Amino acid sequence: MRLGPLSLVVCIIALFRASSVTAARAPRPNILFILTDDLGYGDVGVFFQNLRRKQDPSAPSHFTPKIDTLAAEGLQLPQYYCPAPVCAPSRASLLLGMHQGHANVRDNQFDKALERNHTLATVLQGAGYATAAIGKWGLQGQPTTAPPDWPAHPLNRGFDYYYGYIRHVDGHEHYPKEGLYRQPKQVWENRTEVSAGLAQCYTADLWTARAKQWIADHQRTNAAQPFFLYLAYDTPHAVLELPTQAYPPGGGLHGGLQWLGQPGYMINTARGTPDSWCHPDYANATWDDDRDPATPRVPWPDVYRRYATDVRRIDDCVGDLIQLLKDLRIDRNTLIVFTSDNGPSRESYLRENYEPTFFHSFGPFDGIKRDCWEGGIRVGALARWPGHVRANRVSDLPCAAWDWMPTFAELAGVPAPARTDGQSLVPTLTGKGTQRAPTVYIEYFEGSKTPNYGDFAPARRGRLRKQMQAIRVGDFIGVRYNITNHADAFEIYNILTDPGQTNNVAASHPDLQRLMHDRVLQVRRPGGGVTRPYDRELVPAVPPRAVSSNHLNVAAFRGVWPWLPDFESLSPVKTGRTTGLDLAVQPSGRNFGLRFTGYFVAPTDGDYTFHLTADAGAQLRLHDALVIDDDFNHDGSEVTASIRLQAGLHPFRLFYRHNRGPALLRLEYSGPGIPRQAVTSAAFCCDAAVTN
């Protein structure tokens, strides 16, 4: 019988745990990842709303007290970025551990199948975790016959259990059975459609109650097994519907939202009138709409009372979940991450439109959902793990959603798959170890314009979006809008001193301009079924340097891994230099890995095609661009890919692992005027004075 990648993971995981050189130092935590939909940086109290209220008490504001408590009990990451300023590509990058320069879902692609490859769920499932996804999905692909056969159903991407909206369109409605907006929606429990029994179920309540019940059931039946729960809300996105009633008193195991499991009365708030209850803090709220002290204050428009209530409902859900963890006595062994998929929206799907200017939901930034200005992509994140993540801390580390894959892998005691674009945030979370600098790179296309808000800088109002890019280099971020040619300049801002991006310093930083132009070609690959104006550009070589010709650095590793690991995070048993891809450096034993690093020498400008064959899996990167990924879907056959290179030196990384039988690693290439041939030692070099 031939085993697929997931089956192989399960078969070898026990052996891996016994032999891995990276066993987790701390207890493997449960992981609860809470993702909101269209919640802006400015909507979170600790990030902005509290400051707004303090600076201008007359301005309308709303509250997130439970989320603020979560922040006070853990770590704030205010310089955390989402992968894209719209939901589907953002969630795809999160789940795949890859930025938008490598993920297969890009731009405004909705309902596209998430790539059949490593995900947060497959990695944690492979590490022995129970995995569940509850809430919004939208990455299922097209069914082959009927909806249960969606190729990228969550159950096909590493999750043991799923409950929620699979189709993207369903996430615009928060009463699935009633269908108050447009028409009724589908809710799936694993592969069964269950919306018929969900009368009067508001989805924020429904997903929370189901999540609580899943956690409680898991602890009752298999408490020794850690869990990963991906809880993806569809609020406050889209139609701003209200709950049926006040949040139930208490919280946790015996209070708050409860899963009843009775068709027609599935949860304990499935009573009353749908879309009817407004939080009392906002029901009679007033504001001074013209800032004239002599003018009477006026009531908030209904659409803003709705939005504030929806955000507060998520806040109550967060507090309820934390209380559950305390009641189950797993609070101190559960990492909670709270964040959003992108910046705030201007949508209400009601007759009365919603504008994020009312609450300044974009915070101190310009831009909203679908913008690559900070307001569209800087969402912030919070992390809470009592006893391991010290309370009341704020980190200025620039980081992004794809960094969670290596983070969770390290916490689970396994190395991250080599294909991830992320860096483990464990040193930042725990305050122990050295933090490697994450990459922050975002690309996106959308044909509309930035809103013409008076709060935004004049040059940004009504700005045509189209092809956009953003890249962070230290304290600076480079942004390009309506890119028509790779020569188009980046606007460059010191994002620490100028969060509103009002002072473009590009003219005084030509070195950064060149670096950003080069870097955006060196970290990404064309793909995703879309084309970019810079897809056919030559990937720039690095500046000339002193090198040792015909050599590569090599590091050897011993172990059994459930996938091709990121060898950068492991300790080698042997290092040295080799002439070409010499397997003679392999350590004793049949289970080992090799990391070759140095430079590939491109003799002329042009297209280079690489052909890679390995017995158990390999990966080729030039710079940080993932050229060949032969791991998850490895079947022993040759894998081929092309890349356009400028003549010169290109940093080269080749990871290889071997399990059994004869060792095989073969790399061939062709290029301008170069027929297909083995990549000989003459095509390689490494720094003259540096070894692994």
Per-residue three-class SS string for 457-505: CHHHCCCEEEEEEEEEECCEEEEECCCCCCCCCCEEEECCCCCCCCCCC
- The rounded mean pLDDT for the chain is 94
d(CA 114, CA 105) in angstroms, rounded, equals 7
C-beta separation of 367 from 499 below 8 A: no
Place of tokens 């369109």: 169
User: Judging by beta carbons within 10 Å of its beta carbon (0-12, 13-18, 19+), is residue 9 exposed, middle or buried?
Assistant: buried
What average pLDDT does range 150-154 have in this prediction? 97
d(CA 420, CA 417) in angstroms, rounded, equals 6
SS3 breakdown of the chain: % helix, strand, coil, rounded to 5? 25, 25, 50
pLDDT at 552 > cutoff 80? yes
What average pLDDT does range 138-164 have in this prediction? 93
- pLDDT computed for residue 4 by the predictor: 42
- pLDDT computed for residue 288 by the predictor: 85
Residue 540 is given by DSSP the state: P
pLDDT at 464 > cutoff 60? yes
- pLDDT computed for residue 23 by the predictor: 37
Closest CA to 478 of 497, 467, 491, 496: 491
Q: Which amino acid does the sequence have at 482?
A: N
Q: pLDDT confidence of 691, banded at 50, 70, 90?
A: low
Q: pLDDT tens, 246-265?
A: 999 999 999 999 999 999 99
What average pLDDT does range 384-394 have in this prediction? 97
- pLDDT computed for residue 147 by the predictor: 86
d(CA 671, CA 676) in angstroms, rounded, equals 8
pLDDT at 494 > cutoff 70? yes
pLDDT at 411 > cutoff 90? yes
Q: How far is CA 210 from CA 132, 164, 187, 217, 267, in A?
A: 11, 9, 12, 10, 9
Q: pLDDT confidence of 295, banded at 50, 70, 90?
A: confident
- Map residue 632 onto helix, strand or coil: coil
C-beta separation of 184 from 256 below 8 A: no
Closest CA to 126 of 117, 135, 113, 137: 117
pLDDT at 1 > cutoff 70? no
- pLDDT computed for residue 690 by the predictor: 58
pLDDT at 19 > cutoff 50? no
Chain center to CA of 659: 31
pLDDT at 432 > cutoff 80? yes
Domains and CATH numbers, the chain: 21-435 (3.40.720.10), 442-522 (3.30.1120), 547-687 (2.60.120.1560)
Q: How far is CA 439 from CA 389, 417, 492, 581, in A?
A: 23, 16, 17, 28
d(CA 603, CA 680) in angstroms, rounded, equals 13
- pLDDT computed for residue 294 by the predictor: 75
- pLDDT computed for residue 692 by the predictor: 55
pLDDT at 492 > cutoff 70? yes
C-beta separation of 80 from 379 below 8 A: yes
Q: pLDDT confidence of 169, banded at 50, 70, 90?
A: very high
Q: pLDDT confidence of 26, banded at 50, 70, 90?
A: low
Place of tokens 């009990």: 73
d(CA 335, CA 382) in angstroms, rounded, equals 10
What average pLDDT does range 478-498 have in this prediction? 98
b/e code 312-331 from CB counts within 10 Å (16+ = b): bbbbbbbbbbbbbbbbbebb
- Map residue 95 onto helix, strand or coil: helix
Q: pLDDT tens, 319-358?
A: 999 999 999 999 999 999 999 999 999 999 999 999 999 9
What average pLDDT does range 77-95 have in this prediction? 98
State the DSSP string of 338-395: EEESSS-----SSSS---TTTTTTTTTSS--TT--SHHHHB--EEEE-TTTS-SSEE-
Q: pLDDT confidence of 590, banded at 50, 70, 90?
A: confident
Ranges of beta strands (E only) in 615-647 are: 618-622, 625-630, 639-645
Q: pLDDT tens, 612-653?
A: 999 999 999 999 999 999 999 999 999 999 999 999 999 999
pLDDT at 15 > cutoff 70? no
> Residue 686 has which token pair?
């490494």
C-beta separation of 225 from 124 below 8 A: no
